[in-house]
Amino acid sequence: MMSTLATTNRRVLLAARPVGLPTAANWTFSDAPLADLAEGELRVRVSAISLDPAMRGWMNEGKSYIAPVGIGEVMRAGGVGVVEASRHPGYAVGDAVSGSTGVQTHWTVAPERDRGHGLGKIDLRLGTPTQWLNVLGMPGMTAYFGLMDVGLPNLTKPAGETLVVSGAAGAVGQTVGQLAKLKGLRVVGIAGGAAKCDWVVKELGFDACIDYKAGPSAVRDGLKEHCPQGVDIYFDNVGGDILDTVLARINRRARIVICGAISQYNNTTPVQGPKNYLSLLVNRARMEGMVVFDYADRYHLAVAEMAGYLKDGRMKSREDVATGGVDAFPATLNKLFSGENFGKLVLSLEG
């Protein structure tokens, strides 16, 4: 099937830095003509982009683990697509790729020139394009290295350790929990709403899942019930009160992986620090941050392992696919912060 090549690139630009939750005023839409490629460049027709909590941080000014998106620049995003034109010897028209495409319909990139491009071919025999934004992409890599390298599960403890993961039905959480089960740990999720909890237990095989929306003491009571041996690893995606509640239940030498703090990203007041942090002292425990990019040289190993689990059905991958193209980006992003998404949130730019 021949597809007609577009002549314009529709882009979502950061118009202003948000205070609190992003609004329409933070974005502008802009169509730009597609220029001829220079030597070494290739152009990707973007088929889907990833929506990640970290995007909220990229919109802020100031030093972080990555430079902020500049005002007037295309919003940063990971994405997948197909090469539709190439003047790069390593890429041919039709190649499936992923990379830091940005929120736009067409991504022109020169891997030898552009920093942080993240361009790479993806093997669609290992997973679908949206799985390459999920289990085989950044969230999956975050889960893998956060659990294995920072959480450091003790795989020799006979009865197994207990892992708790918040955002359990989200992109990172679903993979953390499934991987931990595969490694022999007891796994308890925390998620918002009965439907998510039900899915986490029945479909993903977690030992239990606590609905933090069920009441003010739901997390405390749930941890007491479902972690009778305490918590050895807490993989934290949310921060806030839930982090404090888990801190009160950790075991000696527990490891807390600080992967994110979605409850705090839209604060207009200072971040809520964990007032139970002295539990780290009492329990000789550790709280450690991680950024997935540090593990880039080992992504291929994690992809190989996880693709095996996907293929033999031991791991499931759920994507929540929004439609509407780049114009739907602002509304779709905010679903992350309201907790509306169920599984890895992606935005399709096709159809």
Residues that bind its own copies (CB under 8 A): 63-65, 239, 244, 258-261, 264, 270-291, 294
Closest CA to 306 of 135, 156, 62: 135
Nearer to its own copies, 41 or 236 (CB): 236
> Smallest distance from the beta carbon of 329 to its own copies, in angstroms?
25
Nearer to its own copies, 213 or 253 (CB): 253
Nearer to its own copies, 57 or 184 (CB): 57
Q: Are 44 and 106 in contact (CB under 8 A)?
A: yes
Cα–Cα distance between 160 and 34 in angstroms, integer?
55
Nearer to its own copies, 285 or 326 (CB): 285
Q: What is the dihedral of CA 97, 99, 105, 106, to 10 degrees?
A: -70
> Smallest distance from the beta carbon of 292 to its own copies, in angstroms?
10
> Smallest distance from the beta carbon of 239 to its own copies, in angstroms?
8
Cα–Cα distance between 329 and 350 in angstroms, integer?
13
Burial class (CB in 10 A: 0-12, 13-18, 19+), 351: exposed
Cα–Cα distance between 99 and 128 in angstroms, integer?
15
> Smallest distance from the beta carbon of 237 to its own copies, in angstroms?
11
> Smallest distance from the beta carbon of 77 to its own copies, in angstroms?
20
Closest CA to 55 of 45, 64, 46: 64
Nearer to its own copies, 30 or 60 (CB): 60
